Amino acid sequence: MELNLTKPLVFFDLETTGINIATDRIVEISILKVFPNGNKESKTWLVNPEIEIPEHVVAVHGITNEKVVNEPTFKELASTINEMIADADLAGFNSNRFDIPLLAEELLRAGIDFDMDNKKAIDVQVIFHKKEQRTLSAGYKFYCGKDLEDAHSAEADTMATYEILKAQLDKYDDIENSVDSLSEYSAHTKRADFAGFILFDDEKQEIFSFGKYKGRRVVDVLKENPGYNSWIQQADFPLYTKKVLRLIKERMSVAKNPTDNMSDEEKLKALQQKFNLR
């Protein structure tokens, strides 16, 4: 089944120096952009991470330090990558918890203010796990009847993910062929940030998911302990988590001090639209 798209959908996969979203770096990125008319555009880059790739990670994806030493850095590629994904929704395999958060960190580190405004995210792994409980290679075999050659190659994994999603739509009649439906079905717990340090409660208010303020609303904590935000901004948290907290602080400030040219309600609405990460 071909995808029912109203805007481009970018499938992508990352190979990295490790699995720490805040500190690890991309060493390979592959993008497959699928357009509503069925046309496709693809690109794969090796990336110099500017830090050492540990031997145990090289053993997984085969990308050595020597292989990437003369490749462009992510900062050099950032504008091109951002332009390629700017008008598109995003899809991947375990992308909600890993690829999108790490890509966001790299873009923010390169000075590009990435967010998910007006974007949907489809995680093909979540659909797979909800239906069959398997890995990417097993999923490729299960849905497409093929063996996944060159597993842990970003390009091979990206193409396999695209084919799996189409096969899933053929197999499951209860999954609607639309980005909105697929994004909703493949979503994890509603998060305000990618890493899951800030979640939404039942009333769609941001809450902390960790530490001594776990389960408490962010706005209440920041009113009670303004220094908590400063601590997070200076600590080793993901850049996107820090950005979310800055936006909440900005929203709180606007609510307290509305401008002369815009009503409190109007300003809050504008900020909420900007801050809509769901």
Q: Any idea what the Cα angle at residue 210 is, between residues 99 and 121, rounded to 5°?
A: 25
Of 116-120, 133-137, 241-245, which range is least confident?
133-137
Of 48-57, 75-84, 104-113, 264-273, which range is least confident?
264-273
- In whole angstroms, what is the distance from residue 142 CA to residue 131 CA? 11
Of 217, 203, 193, 202, whose CA–CA distance to 278 is shortest?
193
What letter does residue 33 receive in the DSSP assignment?
A: E
Quote the percentage of the chain above a pLDDT of 90: 73
Report whether pLDDT(266) > 70.
no
- In whole angstroms, what is the distance from residue 89 CA to residue 184 CA? 13
Domain covering 9-185, topology = Nucleotidyltransferase; domain 5 (3.30.420)
pLDDT in tens, 191-204: 899 888 999 998 98
The encoded tokens of residue 90 equal 């995003």
pLDDT in tens, 217-233: 999 999 999 999 999 99
Residue 1 has a pLDDT of: 86
Report whether pLDDT(278) > 50.
no
- In whole angstroms, what is the distance from residue 16 CA to residue 63 CA? 9
Residue 151 has a pLDDT of: 80
- In whole angstroms, what is the distance from residue 27 CA to residue 48 CA? 6
Of 56-60, 216-220, 242-246, 273-277, which range is least confident?
273-277
The mean pLDDT of 103-132, rounded to a whole number, is 92
Mean pLDDT, the chain, rounded, equals: 90
Type of residue at 211? G
Domain residue ranges of the chain, discontinuous segments joined by +: 9-185, 198-275
The mean pLDDT of 6-25, rounded to a whole number, is 96
Residue 276 has a pLDDT of: 53
- Please give the model's pTM, rounded to 2 decimal places: 0.71
Question: Token pair 């979203």 is at which residue?
Answer: 21
The encoded tokens of residue 11 equal 């499938």
The encoded tokens of residue 175 equal 């999954």
Question: Token pair 């606007």 is at which residue?
Answer: 254
Residue 265 has a pLDDT of: 60
pLDDT in tens, 134-162: 688 988 998 999 999 888 899 999 999 99
